[in-house]
Amino acid sequence: MKLIAGNSNRPLAEGIAQYLKSPLAESTIRHFADDEIFVEILENVRGQDVFVIQSTSKPVNDYLMELLITIDALKRGSARRITACIPYFGYARQDRKSGPRTPISAKLVADILTTAGANRVLTLDLHAGQIQGFFNIPVDNLFATPLFQKDIHDHFPKEDFLVVSPDVGGVVRARSLAKRLSCGLAVIDKRREKPGVSEVMNVIGEVKGLHCLITDDIVDSAGTVCNAAAALMEAGATSVRAYVTHGVFSPPALERINTSPLEEVVITDSILATDEVKKCTKIRQIPLAPLFGEAIDRINHEKSVSILFD
């Protein structure tokens, strides 16, 4: 087995390598003067089971090209099997036609990865489960819910919780966490009565006197989660925290979080945290290295990965 790290999240790749007690393979990824990307694998990979660890986070297109070129280099180096380990799968929110003459970019990325030479994909909390069907190769979509469950039990063992979905589309994810915590479920119903009028946030469910946990897959500009937190506090919630898998944090996300009623936003390290994110006292990260390390080990030894969902 060989582990190769891209440039998007080197600390996570090093954590996975440490968990597996397998050093990262030597490789070079650099840019020419015109920003063309060059990749060279400095170790023999012939007949090896290779895992390329690369989140396609900002700058998305650069890191995606790094991943594709690395896969091509491994294919031409006669690797036996190439697994693209993509903790954060960019373009996942473009999973359907949003209007006439618009792309389904998630499908395009799936096709490109397969054409480049990936034999399987390992990822975490895809924005939409049906994206797995965009691939004609095996896809293992891990879930952060078990990690969130453990963190909640470790940090807040005696509090009465209610899990909240910030929109109707996230109900399945929220229900899964609520079932694990044996607690209730509420949903935020967002609606805009007419163009130019701010959204109205209606809370479906009884939240008064409860500690609310908003759960979602992505926090980008943080508008949805912060507005949901404000609506929950207005409805009588005791406190509001958020558990979100991927912390994108596009401006002005951090400013919104700092001025919101949110007590804490817990994310995974699927995306490398910027210095600004690290300085935000309301944000805390859960490491993914054990989860991905165990999944990689199971794939390498042809064992079941579904046990990690339990």
The answer to whether 208 and 236 are in contact (CB under 8 A) is yes
Question: Could you give the CA distance from residue 252 to residue 267 in angstroms, rounded to a whole number?
Answer: 17
* CB proximity list for 53: less than 8 A, separation 6 or greater: 3, 4, 5, 6, 9, 12, 13, 16, 85, 87, 292
- 190 catalytic per annotation: yes
| Marked catalytic residue, from 190, 279, 282, 303 | 190
Question: Beta strands 200-204 and 184-191: pairing type?
Answer: antiparallel
**CA 121/CA 94 separation, integer angstroms:** 18
- Give the C-alpha separation, 231 to 199, whole Å: 11
Q: From the CB of residue 26, how many other CB atoms can be counted at a distance below 10 Å? A: 10
Token pair for residue 179?
Answer: 């079932």
What letter represents residue 181's amino acid? L
Which residue from 113, 60, 57, 66 is spatially nearest to 268, judged by alpha carbons? 57
Query: What CA–CA distance (Å, rounded) separates 150 from 16?
Result: 20
For residue 169, give the nearest of 147, 189, 142 by alpha carbon.
189
For the record, the structure tokens of 241 come out as: 């925290």
Closest CA to 87 of 264, 254, 296: 296
**What is the Cα–Cα distance from 145 to 269, expressed in whole angstroms?**
14
Torsion, Cα 220 223 224 228, to 10 degrees, reads 140
User: What residues act catalytically?
Assistant: 190
